């Protein structure tokens, strides 16, 4: 069977119509996917430029997740520090209220002070976020990376708020294990505590007041130390939040840049589709005109 031979005019119109159809298909795909470049075949240079930007954005998004977790770890420590201060303030109140309490009440108050000290240790032990406790050891460390560069990170060292070193004396020096029993060993908390004082006796009352004042000064020093270390943690939280905000904005810039290279303008593609459909109709009409010459030859045989 021999091939059909088309006239030059018909072939030219056919090629033009086929090209228009391909452009219509491409435009429809762009409108459906929203992408003008979806593979290296479309435009290798722009495709790989956009991929590089998108890969960078994806890597930074993973870093941002780590930053957010770092913020949560520090906020956990800060919330615990606030609770520790509340317990110390409560301890101050108990010691101060014993000045006007009778012996039976002071026995109960003594137990309250001991319980508060125990709760401080329990709170420190429970302050863990994803296995990291920043309040029970100076060896604890939070390391948050900001990018793939080795030096782009923030390291936060833990603090030791364990009962054995948490409390300070009136001079601001760690009172050690003796203070850890509750406050100052001179109050005798380990051998009777608040109840050993007979506050109806002027000498005992004066002795208790002097020692209680010293204890309260020590607790104030403890709170001051606690606030100082909490301030450092809060400053690191602020740093991480700034980096998290910057990283999110950077990710948006990268994604926008990638989109400029690959995302289709739907308004433009819609206009292109309308123009191509019009061209297609004109092509069909032009092919019809080109075929009329051959039809006129057919008329000679009639």
pLDDT, tens digit (0-9, with 9 covering 90-100), for 43-97: 788 888 888 999 999 999 999 999 999 999 999 999 999 999 999 999 889 888 8
Span 130-146, mean pLDDT? 93
pLDDT in tens, 89-107: 998 898 888 778 777 777 7
pLDDT at 39: 73
d(CA 185, CA 191): 9
Q: Name the residue ranges covered by the structural domains of the chain.
A: 49-261, 265-302
Q: Rounded to an integer, what distance in angstroms lies between the CA atom of residue 178 and that of residue 190?
A: 9
Chain centroid to Cα 25, Å, comes to 43
**Burial class of 3 by CB neighbour count within 10 A (0 to 12, 13 to 18, 19+):** exposed
Mean pLDDT of 189-208: 65
Report the sign of the C-alpha dihedral through residues 266, 267, 268, 270, in that order: positive
pLDDT at residue 1, as a whole number: 45
* 192/201 Cα distance (integer angstroms): 17
Which of 215 and 5 is assigned the larger pLDDT? Answer: 215
Q: What is the pLDDT of residues 113-137, one digit of tens each?
A: 878 888 998 999 999 999 999 999 9
Q: Residue 141: beta bridge partners? A: 157
CA 219 – CA 93 distance, rounded (Å): 11
Closest CA to 171 of 209, 211, 135, 218: 218
Which pLDDT does position 191 carry in this prediction? 46
Residue 188 is predicted with a pLDDT of: 41
Calculated CA dihedral for residues 9, 11, 17, 23, nearest 10 degrees: -120
Output the six-digit token pair for 90: 């409560």
The phi and psi torsions of 207 (rounded to 5 degrees) equal: -65, -45
Strand partners, 93: none
Assign domain 49-261 one CATH number from 1.10.10.2840, 1.20.1330.10, 3.30.70.100, 1.10.3720.10: 1.20.1330.10
Report which of 244, 230, 243, 220 is spatially closest to residue 79, judged by C-alpha positions: 230
d(Cα 112, Cα 91) in Å, to the nearest integer?
8
Confidence check: pLDDT of 8 > 70? no
Exposure string over 175-200, b if 16+ CB within 10 A, otherwise e: beebbbbbbbbebbbeeebbbebebe
pLDDT at 184 over 50: no
How much helix, strand and coil, in percent to the nearest 5, is found in the chain? 75, 5, 20
pTM over 0.75: no
| pLDDT tens figures, 18-39 | 677 776 666 666 666 666 677 7
Q: What is the mean pLDDT of the chain?
A: 79
User: Whose structure tokens read 């005798």?
Assistant: 188
Note the pLDDT of residue 6.
58
| pLDDT score for 296 | 61
Q: Provide mean pLDDT across the span 180-193.
A: 46
């Amino acid at each position: 069977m021999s091939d059909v031979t088309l006239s030059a005019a018909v072939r030219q119109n056919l090629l033009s119509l086929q090209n228009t159809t391909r452009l219509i298909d491409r435009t429809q795909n762009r409108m459906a996917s929203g992408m003008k470049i979806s593979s290296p075949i479309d435009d290798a240079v722009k495709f790989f430029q956009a991929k590089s930007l998108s890969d960078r954005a994806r890597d930074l998004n993973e870093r941002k997740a780590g930053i957010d977790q770092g913020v949560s770890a520090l906020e956990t420590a800060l919330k615990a520090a606030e609770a520790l201060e509340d317990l110390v303030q409560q301890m101050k109140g108990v010691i101060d209220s014993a000045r006007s309490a009778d012996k039976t009440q002071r026995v109960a108050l003594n137990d309250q002070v001991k319980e508060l000290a125990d709760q401080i240790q329990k709170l420190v032990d429970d302050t863990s976020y994803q296995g990291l406790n920043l309040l029970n050891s100076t060896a604890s460390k939070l390391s948050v990376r900001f990018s793939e560069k080795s030096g782009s990170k923030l390291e936060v060292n833990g603090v030791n708020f364990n009962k054995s070193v948490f409390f300070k004396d009136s001079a601001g020096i760690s009172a050690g294990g003796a203070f850890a029993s509750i406050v100052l060993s001179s109050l005798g908390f380990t051998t009777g505590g608040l109840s050993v004082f007979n506050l109806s006796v002027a000498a005992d009352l004066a002795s208790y007041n002097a020692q209680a004042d010293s204890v309260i000064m020590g607790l104030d020093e403890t709170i001051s130390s606690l606030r100082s270390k909490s301030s450092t943690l809060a400053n690191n939280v602020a740093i991480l939040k700034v980096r998290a905000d910057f990283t999110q904005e950077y990710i948006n810039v990268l994604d926008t840049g990638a989109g400029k290279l690959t995302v289709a303008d739907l308004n433009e593609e819609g206009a292109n589709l309308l123009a191509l459909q019009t061209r297609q109709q004109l092509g069909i009409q032009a092919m019809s005109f080109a075929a009329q010459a051959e039809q006129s030859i057919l008329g000679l045989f009639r």
